[in-house]
Amino acid sequence: MKKRFVALWFHHLETDWFIVRQPALQTVPFVLAVKDHGRLVITAASNPAEEQGIKKGMVVADARMLLPSLEVLDHIPGLYEKLLGKLAEWCIRFSPYVAIDAPDGLIFDASGCAHLWGGDIDYLSTIIKRLHGRGYQLRVGMADTIGAAWAIARYGRSSPVIEPDMQSTALLPLPPASLRIEQELVERFYKLGLHQIQDFISMPRSSLRRRFGQAFLQRLHQALGMEPEYMQPVQPVELYQERLPCLEPIVTRSGIEIALQQLLEKLCKRLEQEEKGIRTLRLHCHRVDDAIITISIGTNFPSRHGEHLFKLFENKLPTIEPALGIELFVLEAVKVENHVPIQEKLWEKRNGLQDTRLAELLDRFTDRFGANCFHRYLPDAHYWPERSIRLSTSLQEPPTNNWRMDLPRPIHVLAHPQPIQVTAPIPDYPPMLFRYKGRLHKIVKADGPERIEQEWWLTAGEHRDYYCVEDEAGQRFWLFRSGHYDAEKMVGWFLHGFFA
């Protein structure tokens, strides 16, 4: 895709901001001024003031000689930086790549964006109209390079759109200042009689470098597209992102659903081609009143199943308040992982954690009940039962050890063994009965003991002798005695698990 850039120039940025807040200033010549060595110096002038010959950098006393009725307001430090930052974030609705061009401009990477608004002219017209509606005057330029777009926005006199591969021709009648060079260098060009780019563009590059420096030559080559120029967007752009601008603001639930389905279809098709799957997905809804509503979903397994992803979003769509309407939808995959379909065997069914249906079921549970509604556990290399399992971080995490299968283990293991009262006949014999939570259980069957030693490198303590027992009601329990039998003192017995 061929690169296309848009440059915006707010030639009265700060004074426009004052007019938005004080509309009475719109027809009044006024300036912003700051104290400098005991005198007031103009930092910005409104359009009516400039028409009277008042410019930035003049002393207020000199300006009032030209216009005695000139109104002077205090300059606000850092105002233009804040304004450009907010405008750049607002303009993300027109392009995901928006960069600040201090002190009075913005740069868009508009590659692949204009067709969403009906073409280059309609795209620029929409930008101008929307920003005029916010109270800002601006000029725009569009070209294949940042330098050419910048030059057309500030010095162009015809169409703001330079057709593809035509930046060299469009730059010829423009002055040297359009190449973003220092004022001192501009004055040198004028002294030499070089008033337009066409006057020196055909000169040998070695002569231009020797006379005007490498920095000037770089600017010239960047504007012509002979050297690359990079921009730093105000917000990082996700690699997998789809955008859907709306011709009319969307205010209904059905309209939001249709927009989401279209975005999911495009994104999933792209991910399928690249064998990727979504783990985290966000939907940004840009409203007409400049508010941005964001909802997100997550999956336990990489997915590009559009219908399933839509169902995950479905429960959160009622939280979107369209207000006056949503004008732009942005769907971005924040976390993406490789997702290659697993080859199924002819005589075996696809089961286990790799089953897509299981992963989608867990996704729906997570979406409805929260991230902690289920847990997966893996075996861990410890002797004591309560330490022999660990919480898995994901469904895809492989176990580092195998589950112990040579001896019986209960289905439900208590996190902390519960003390019980036990009647046992002689050492190493299983108990005859025990009392747990006020209920007496008479043991009819028992197996054991199985001795499990304490892990001395972790904590000090007694070993355990475990018994599998069954009471007269058919319930099976996992009990243990802590330490050796001692007739002179009470031996500690504990309940640690349930088999059924």
Of 51-60, 153-162, 373-382, least confident by mean pLDDT is 373-382
Domain match, 251 and 208 both: no
Mean pLDDT value across residues 158-178: 92
Give the dihedral of Cα atoms 133, 137, 139, 145; nearest 10 deg: -80
Domain match, 233 and 248 both: no
Are 99 and 93 spatial neighbours (Cβ–Cβ below 8 Å)?
Answer: no
Range of the structural domain that residue 483 is part of: 412-498
Q: What is the pLDDT of residue 373?
A: 64
Residue 217 lies in a domain: yes
Split into its structural domains, the chain has a count of 3
Domain match, 89 and 188 both: yes
Q: Is the pLDDT of residue 310 over 80?
A: yes
Q: What confidence tier does 346 reach under pLDDT thresholds 50, 70, 90?
A: very low
Are 446 and 430 spatial neighbours (Cβ–Cβ below 8 Å)?
Answer: yes
Q: pTM for the whole thing?
A: 0.67
Q: Is the pLDDT of residue 356 over 80?
A: no
Domain match, 174 and 70 both: yes
Domain match, 53 and 41 both: yes
Query: Residues 219-267: pLDDT tens digits?
Result: 999 999 999 998 889 988 778 888 888 888 899 999 999 999 999 999 9
Query: Residues 375-407: pLDDT tens digits?
Result: 777 888 787 788 787 877 676 677 777 777 778
Cα–Cα distance between 463 and 453 in angstroms, integer? 4
**Domain end residue (candidates: 338, 368, 383):** 338
Domain match, 65 and 209 both: yes
Average pLDDT in the chain: 87
